[in-house]
Structure 1
Amino acid sequence: MYFRPGFVVVVLGAILTPISTIIVALRYYCRFFLMGSVSASDHLMFVALVVTWGNFVVNYYQDETSSKFKPSYFRMPEKQPEIAETVRGTLISWWVYRVSYIVALCFVKLSILFFYRAIASHRTFRRLVNATIVFVCIYSFGACMAAIFQCANPSEAWSTANYFAQFDRNPDTKSQGQRCYDPIALWVFSAAANLLSDVIILMLPIPTLLSLRIPMSKRLALIGIFSVGIMAIIASSVRMWVMMLWAESPTNSARFGADLLLWGQVETNSGIISASIPFLRLLFRSRKKEERGVTQRKIENGPPKPMRVDAFSQCKELDMGEWPLGDEDKKSGPGSPSWGPFITVPESLSCSRGSTLLEPVHQPHVTV
């Protein structure tokens, strides 16, 4: 069974974008309801999600318009007037996508970097994060401006006459009034800068995590959580390879355009998902706390065993063996934390009624 490449892009976007939406919604739930604070990092990720939905809509429109003609029609002068309007719609959608794709990735990276900035305690780490923020903003802004003003007159970017002229083998019929630069160098530079920033963002927190004074197993677990972003790096690398194929010729541009869009969807959504997954640990932590609270309530509500009173001495200290605090305390070792409740009573109340120790004598409290 054959599936149109553009249709595959739409299906993949229809799967990944809702998953990203669910992950970001859970992130907001954890941050607002479980932590009680929402930061700029969360809002930046929400903007990236909105722009990603815009990319999905643009991809759908690209598939709808490109499915109405074949790439072989570009070299047939008799077919060009029939597909001119449809090709113009495709060119406009590509012009919009080039800008929205850069904006979406920019907000994903800024969300991660602002989170780093919020947890940065070392001055060097904070300076590196700020420098990376400036780098991402500068190259993203430059790439957006270059994409918008690819031609001196932006409307020339979706001119069908100029586009069909690329496939005309007769040099006398080439378009003479076009004032557009070749965007291949821009897209290759943008892809390389994007991949470089992904690697920098992945490596930034690792020295700080390794220097934490916690057990090595927990350090490695934190590094593993922060390294989930390697999925975005893999997608970015594959997309850059596809872009090199796409940029070889106008024919390859029409052939590998769907692959470029597909890996763009994977890259953007994997960045959103991998950057939001670490916040979802709060869901499991809150569940463990609820289970622990239920266990403690059962222990506290249980009836205590009656105390055995020695007939020869009515003033006997409380013994922990007389108060069953649960199986956890019996199994815990000397180094493990004890979750049982502490019982604090005055020493004067440890005797029976009628004892002479009930007189108002100030005694220290004993913690049993």
Structure 2
Amino acid sequence: MFIPPGQVVVIVGITLTSLSTMVVALRYYCRYFRMGVVGATDHLMLVALLLTWGNTAINYYQDIYSRRFRPSQLRFPEKRPKAEAALFGTLLTWYIYRITYVIGLCFVKLSILFFYRAIASHVTFRRAVYATITFVCLYTLAVTLAGIFQCENPSDAWSTEAFFSQFDGPGPGRPGRRPRRCNSPTKLWVFSAAVNLFSDVIILLLPIPTLLGLRVPINKRLALIGIFSVGIMAIVASCVRMWVMALWSESVSNSGRFGADLLLWGQVETNSGIISASVPFLRLLFKGKDRGLSEKERGLTPPRPRNATSNMPLELPSLAIFSGPDVGPNGSPIWKPFITVPASLSSSSRDSATLTTTHQQHPHATV
């Protein structure tokens, strides 16, 4: 049975986000009932989960609106009124999605980085964590502002009048039409995807030097590295999405053809990050309660390095997540014109129609 690509995006999104919800719920259970504390890292992940549900709802409406008209209808002015309402919904949902998707990924990364900050005992590690937090916040702010102000007048981004004006050259009845100044989001999205992948790799590698320097048996060190490396799932998803993004940005027709794939892998990437960052805490489901430990023993307040002038490796505060029979409380452990007609996400051929404009002074992109 054939399932339209748009419906596949919605089904996968609901399934993965539901799984993420269960994992985050278990994370809260472990952190509160097993460790006795819930911190900023957990709340940041909860915000990321809520934004992911929001993106899933947006994906649903993107599919609904895209199925209510065909791009070929936009070729003829007399047919445009029938497609105008659905076109408005398509423009608006894509506009919102571009913004909320980036912000959702930011909260996933911040949750991981705030956890690193809680266990960082080495001054170099802490500085690297703070630098990465600053970088993630700044580039997210920059990309978000660029998305909001894609058009000189932000409301032109979802205006059907503005969208149609790019295809109508000057002529009778249109001498006083207000110019629409909009930029294509293509290069912004490609840049954002590249920086996102780069930051994923940095976040994955940040704790490795510290874990390698722990005063624990090699098998324990490798186990800890393995737990932290679960995040490689998100990097793989980010790599695939980057590849789809490259295909999506190659041409006008590709932007419609690979639109559903872009949304699909966006869901996989975000949910992979949420799940992989929360799985290490679920180890507490198989451990006894740890509420009797102090905050310092749980690793929530990083101790000062005891051997500041020594060449010996610094100790990592023990964590209830990782503590076991062999690890105790004191263990060591400028954009070019780009015009795209929104293609139906549920189109069986997954092809998009491209309109040839006769007037490209004020380009206006839809995706």
The answer, yes or no, to whether TM exceeds 0.5 is yes
Q: How does 1:27-176 map to 2 (within 5 A)?
A: 27-164=27-164, 168=167
Q: 2: distance between equivalents of 1:8 and 1:79? A: 29
Q: How does 1:1-368 map to 2 (within 5 A)?
A: 1-164=1-164, 168=167, 177-286=179-288
One-letter amino acid of the structure 2 residue matched with residue 63 of structure 1:
D
Secondary structure class of the residue paired with 1:229: helix
| Contact 1:151–1:180 (CA under 8 A) maintained in structure 2 | yes
Q: After the TM superposition, which of the residue ranges 177-186 and 224-233 deviates more from structure 2? A: 177-186
User: What is the TM-score when the length of structure 2 is the normalising length?
Assistant: 0.74
Cα deviations across residues 116-158 of structure 1 (Å, max 9, x unaligned)? 0000000000000000000000000111111111111111001
Q: 2: distance between equivalents of 1:43 and 1:203? A: 23
One-letter amino acid of the structure 1 residue matched with residue 243 of structure 2:
W
| Contact 1:71–1:254 (CA under 8 A) maintained in structure 2 | no
Identity of aligned residues (%): 65
Give the superposition deviation at 1:5. 0.9
Q: 2: distance between equivalents of 1:218 and 1:75? A: 64
Q: 1: distance between equivalents of 2:91 and 2:248? A: 15
Q: 1: distance between equivalents of 2:165 and 2:24? A: 45
Q: 1: distance between equivalents of 2:238 and 2:164? A: 30
Q: After the TM superposition, which of the residue ranges 36-45 and 254-263 deviates more from structure 2? A: 254-263
Q: Which has the higher contact order (CA 8 A, sep 6+)?
A: 2
Give the superposition deviation at 1:103. 0.8
Cα deviations across residues 142-198 of structure 1 (Å, max 9, x unaligned)? 1111111111111100122443466x5x86689971111222121111111101100
1:320 maps to what in 2? none
Q: 2: distance between equivalents of 1:4 and 1:77? A: 28
One-letter amino acid of the structure 1 residue matched with residue 237 of structure 2:
A
Secondary structure class of the residue paired with 1:37: coil
**Closer, same or farther: CA 244–79 of 1 in aligned 2, 3 Å:** farther
Q: 2: distance between equivalents of 1:256 and 1:77? A: 27
Q: 1: distance between equivalents of 2:184 and 2:93? A: 18
One-letter amino acid of the structure 2 residue matched with residue 86 of structure 1:
A
Q: 2: distance between equivalents of 1:235 and 1:186? A: 20
**Closer, same or farther: CA 75–239 of 1 in aligned 2, 3 Å:** farther
One-letter amino acid of the structure 1 residue matched with residue 14 of structure 2:
A
Q: 2: distance between equivalents of 1:187 and 1:41? A: 27
Give the superposition deviation at 1:281. 0.4
Question: Which is greater in Rg?
Answer: 1
User: What is the TM-score when the length of structure 1 is the normalising length?
Assistant: 0.74
| Contact 1:225–1:278 (CA under 8 A) maintained in structure 2 | yes
Q: 1: distance between equivalents of 2:181 and 2:270? A: 32
| Contact 1:9–1:59 (CA under 8 A) maintained in structure 2 | yes
Cα deviations across residues 23-61 of structure 1 (Å, max 9, x unaligned)? 000000000000001111001001101111111111111
Supply the RMSD in Å over aligned alpha carbons.
2.0
Count of equivalent residues: 287
2:314 maps to what in 1? none
One-letter amino acid of the structure 1 residue matched with residue 181 of structure 2:
R
Give the superposition deviation at 1:75. 3.4
Secondary structure class of the residue paired with 1:79: helix
Query: Unaligned regions of 5+ residues in structure 1, if any?
Result: 288-335, 338-368
**Closer, same or farther: CA 188–142 of 1 in aligned 2, 3 Å:** same
1:319 maps to what in 2? none
